[in-house]
Amino acid sequence: MSEDSASFAELFQESEAKPIRRLKPGQKITATIVGISGESIFLDTGGKSEGILDASELSPDKEGQVPVLGDRLEVYFLKGKGGAQLFTISIGSGKNTEHLEEACRSSIPVEGVVKEEIKGGFEITLGGSIRAFCPYSQMGLRRVEDAAAEYLEKRMPFLITRFEENGRNIVVSARALLELEREKLRDALKEKLAEGDLINGIITSIRDFGAFVDIGGVDGLVPISEIGWSRVENITDHYKVDQQVSVLVKKLDWDNNRITLSIKETLEDPWELAAEKLSSGDRITGKVVRLTQFGAFVTLEPGVDGLIHISKLGKGRRINHPREVLEEGQEIDVQVENVDLVEKRISLLPSDYVSPETDQKNEETLIKDFQRANKKQSVNLGTFGDLLQAKFNEKS
């Protein structure tokens, strides 16, 4: 037996030894390039049948390198044809567009170019000539301010969500693919993310109640109370969309798709620093930042607020609301009444505050002073009367 015959026999035996691999349309597999001939690329799919991929689907990568023998590719199975299996990287990337209906049925990605903005969305061109429509809401996961500037002439992957009238009515969605990808990322995060972890993320959206942060394909919410140690009224005064931030994972609720994050917990707590410096009796100037029914909050320094209870306002006059004597933004001289290290609370007094006890003592002192003065006057008057009586007796 010749060497060529032996080699052929070995290849035949290897082929016979391979199991029959039954693939479903749309199934994604990893295959190896075993041959390149003209417009066809031959793939080893791990089964007896040979896989064929249209060469027009492969283009040089970013470094200008073209696929070669031995390279591994991720491909989608289209259908069997004449003993061979037809594959695609994504329908619409090559010249073959006859399988768009199969792509819709089997959820195979298609590649298209965003050609024109039309009413309600964009016209998408598949395979160079097939027209499809993508609504604005299906172009991405998030709404963008200038959709035309963001998407026009961009080549993107889509899923066909509607294929009607033999291809004359095709609707596609980029969002559907992105959501599938996010599901994979979510599953990966579930395996490694834990409460208490410190991670980096990108702010994707800012609302009145908080900021959403992308932590690797999944968004978590930083409630407005977790933005900073000081009270935050407007998040956009401190952060902006697309800004990178460090966050701490506060709570994970995978069942309800809720991830609670904190920026505040990654920052140094200014209260602890202030507590070391402040003590009862200290006088300091602060700014009134919030008025409530029960009192006025005063910022002593960034992130450190104290409370003047309503009963301590009014200079002894009973008031119904702090706004009767104070206004937000007003600077005020205060005295530290008490620092509660455990509850992180600082009680304040207006610098001119006089307690009822002190006021009563002052009043009692004034009364005693008056009584002493009155008694002394009476004694003096009595002594003067005695002198007059003595003079009168002498004359008699």
pLDDT in tens, 184-236: 888 888 888 999 999 999 999 899 999 999 998 789 999 999 998 877 889 99
Structure-token pair, residue 366: 């004034």
Sign of the Cα torsion 100, 103, 105, 107 reads: negative
The token pair at 343 is 């509850």
Instruction: Examine the pLDDT at 6 and tell me if it is beyond 60.
Output: no
User: Can you give the pLDDT at residue 61?
Assistant: 59
pLDDT interval class at 73 (50, 70, 90): confident
Asked if 336 contacts 348 with a C-beta cutoff of 8 angstroms, the reply is: yes
Q: How far apart are CA 113 and CA 381, in angstroms?
A: 113
Q: What is the pLDDT of residue 175?
A: 94
Q: Pick the more confident residue, 13 or 267.
A: 267
pLDDT at position 118 is 93
CA dihedral 189, 191, 196, 197 (to 10 degrees): -60
Of the candidates 369, 370, 366, the residue with the CA atom closest to the CA atom of residue 358: 366
pLDDT tens track for 349-380: 998 887 655 555 555 565 556 566 666 665 55
Q: How much is the pLDDT for 15?
A: 44
pTM of the model: 0.55
Mean pLDDT, residues 48-55: 79
pLDDT exceeds cutoff 70 at 3: no
Can you tell me the mean pLDDT for 286-315?
88
DSSP per-residue codes, 284-311: EEEEEEEEETTEEEEEEETTEEEEEEGG
Q: Which domains does the chain have, with CATH numbers?
A: 10-88 (2.40.50.140), 109-178 (2.40.50.140), 194-266 (2.40.50.140), 270-356 (2.40.50.140)
- Sequence-distant (6+) residues with CB within 8 A of 22 are none
